[in-house]
Structure 1
Amino acid sequence: MQAVLYVSHGSRVEETRSEAVACIEKAQAHVNVPLYKICYLEIASPNVADGVEELVQNGASEIAVVPVLLLSAGHYYKDLPEEIKHMQERFPSITFTYGKPLGVQDRLVDVLVDRIESTTTLQNSPLNLLLVGRGSRKPETKRDIESIANKLKSKTNASNVDVCYLAACGPTFQEGLETSLSRAGEGAIVVPYLWFTGLLIRSMQERIDELKAAGHSIEMTHYLQDHPGIVEALADRVKEALQNKESFPVLS
């Protein structure tokens, strides 16, 4: 029996987990596989091992592992494959296949445009946008964020689209804010390329509130959450994983 294992990042913030579950279940509604489980890579429960075990107990013989991740980084290349390797050793009769993160897609850039247009102020040209990624030591993370920034500039009336990161690489969020606010224009809009709420979103909003209180023209858009474009993209990744007939690679 075919099953789907959704693997989200995990968070101590209950609202973050609730948002992840809501988005995944909206995507799952478009998938013709009734047996599925939502689990987390770290911090939250159930973990990957618990998720696989429950699916096997419920009759799964094939499990499509779908990473609920925006971009390819350490979790995709290392952490999750290591978890599944342990599960392969524990359940050698089960076939595991692996899906892809959402990656760089025009429809996801359209979600960002929609978030920008939904911002209540600072919509007059010229605008300065600051695209904020989570960050990673993997070089493709910066490449992907910069690609998204270029697409975003082509789809908006922004004079500038700067990029920054919250961890692991630079420029930092503070450096990005300083650059964006130093540019000529009507103000700055911070665009978080983050899927769900959490401590990072809260700390960003606190910093922006401080800047606004000091007289700066700056706003932050809503994060991606369960925008219809995100739900559609995740559902498509699940369908691709289900069509993948190559078994999950065993790490050496």
Structure 2
Amino acid sequence: MNRPEPLLLVGHGTVDDSGVREFHAFVERVRARMAPSTVDTAGGFIELSAPAVTEAWAELVDRGHRRMAAVPLVLVAAGHGKGDIPAALEREVRRHPGTSFRFGRPLGPHPVLLDLLEQRIAAVSDRAEWADTAVLLVGRGSTDPDANAEVCKVSRLLQETRGFAFVETAFVSLARPAVPDGLERVRRLGARRVVVAPYFLFDGVLPQRVARQSVEFGAATPDVDVAVAGYLGDCDELVDLVVERYHEALHGDIRMNCDTCAYRVLLPGFESKLGAPQTPHHHPDDPAGGHGHGHSHGHGADVAAAHGHASSHAR
């Protein structure tokens, strides 16, 4: 009887200890869910934190596995999901000849995430006041416009399905508006009650920055009541979504949305990205120094899996 393909959870990594602990706790929660179906589970980071993904891969290989189903623990398909994570996995294929992987989709957007955002917002605000409450959804931010647009899509879905006065979007790095600017926009649109909702999986430097900037804005702007919701966090609902992505990777048709990807189509203001190599950045935790191989986005072996295109390893 063939053993089911193991689930490999791949995170980005953080220098924040609490975020690392939450990732480990979540891996254990997923492992407990998968154990009854005899699916092995391991998790690792591409940088900044231990264990590195190379350790998680080796752990599964040592247990006799040759083909992995990898689910990226990212909310949007920015550079990490499109290039860095699949490239890190491809390096493991080269280190362990005879191994391969299937690559799952990023977690969002998804109704489960909207439900979790609703729960986190409800924990800091009265549902009876939502019709007069604005929400500022704050994403990480990216140089990839497609990734930023995904966060805006979540904001719109939240607005149209949850009954808030309105929902605006901000980013904590690399994209505009920044958190203070987003809060000022909300204020100028007439909100006197706003909940800042960090769109992050686990704790870390960036969600902590979101909370700090929000509290500072509230203290300096007494005419606006600013509350900060929790990030999504380690929970059973998130496990449900990961399990869905795992089965989808094994049996579904995995295709990222390439219609608005700046590496595949010409977007005004991002002309330099069109056809540019997706060269994963240096990962100091990688045993070989982490220097990736540059391949054209959506065509090279390192990134083909991220777009559902067949390659010799990632399928």
Normalising to structure 2: TM-score of the pair?
Answer: 0.73
2:266 corresponds in structure 1 to none
Q: Does 1:211 align with 2:214?
A: no
Equivalent of 1:7 in 5, 10, 31: 10
Are the aligned partners of 1:122 and 1:217 in contact in 2 as well (CA < 8 Å)?
no
1:60 corresponds in structure 2 to 65
2:115 corresponds in structure 1 to 110
Q: Does 1:48 align with 2:53?
A: yes
CA distance in 2, matches of 1:46, 1:116: 32
Q: Does 1:146 align with 2:146?
A: no
Equivalent of 1:25 in 17, 25, 28: 28
More moved, 52-61 vs 27-36: 27-36
1:50-82 Cα offsets, whole Å, 9 max, x none, are: 221221122112211121111111111111121
Are the aligned partners of 1:128 and 1:160 in contact in 2 as well (CA < 8 Å)?
yes
**CA distance 1:25–1:242, shift in 2 (3 Å):** farther
Are the aligned partners of 1:112 and 1:224 in contact in 2 as well (CA < 8 Å)?
yes
The structure, 1 or 2, with the larger RCO (C-alpha pairs under 8 Å, 6+ apart) is: 1
* Deviation (angstroms), 1:226: 2.2
* Deviation (angstroms), 1:123: 5.8
Are the aligned partners of 1:4 and 1:33 in contact in 2 as well (CA < 8 Å)?
no
* Deviation (angstroms), 1:20: 1.4
Equivalent of 1:220 in 228, 234, 239: 228
Are the aligned partners of 1:111 and 1:227 in contact in 2 as well (CA < 8 Å)?
no
2:104 corresponds in structure 1 to 99
2:302 corresponds in structure 1 to 251
Give ranges in structure 2 of 5+ residues lacking alignment.
255-299, 304-315
* Deviation (angstroms), 1:245: 9.7
Give ranges in structure 1 of 5+ residues lacking alignment.
none
* Deviation (angstroms), 1:33: 3.8
Are the aligned partners of 1:97 and 1:244 in contact in 2 as well (CA < 8 Å)?
no
CA distance in 2, matches of 1:146, 1:159: 16
Are the aligned partners of 2:180 and 2:214 in contact in 1 as well (CA < 8 Å)?
no
More moved, 40-49 vs 207-216: 207-216
CA distance in 2, matches of 1:136, 1:82: 19
Letter in 2 for 1:11: T
Are the aligned partners of 2:31 and 2:40 in contact in 1 as well (CA < 8 Å)?
no
1:216-240 Cα offsets, whole Å, 9 max, x none, are: 4100111100243322111211222
* Deviation (angstroms), 1:195: 0.7
Are the aligned partners of 2:172 and 2:209 in contact in 1 as well (CA < 8 Å)?
no
Letter in 2 for 1:204: V
Letter in 2 for 1:58: R
Normalising to structure 1: TM-score of the pair?
Answer: 0.90
Are the aligned partners of 2:22 and 2:202 in contact in 1 as well (CA < 8 Å)?
yes
Q: Does 1:202 align with 2:208?
A: yes
CA distance in 2, matches of 1:98, 1:179: 39
Describe the SS at the equivalent of 1:119. Answer: coil
Describe the SS at the equivalent of 1:130. Answer: strand
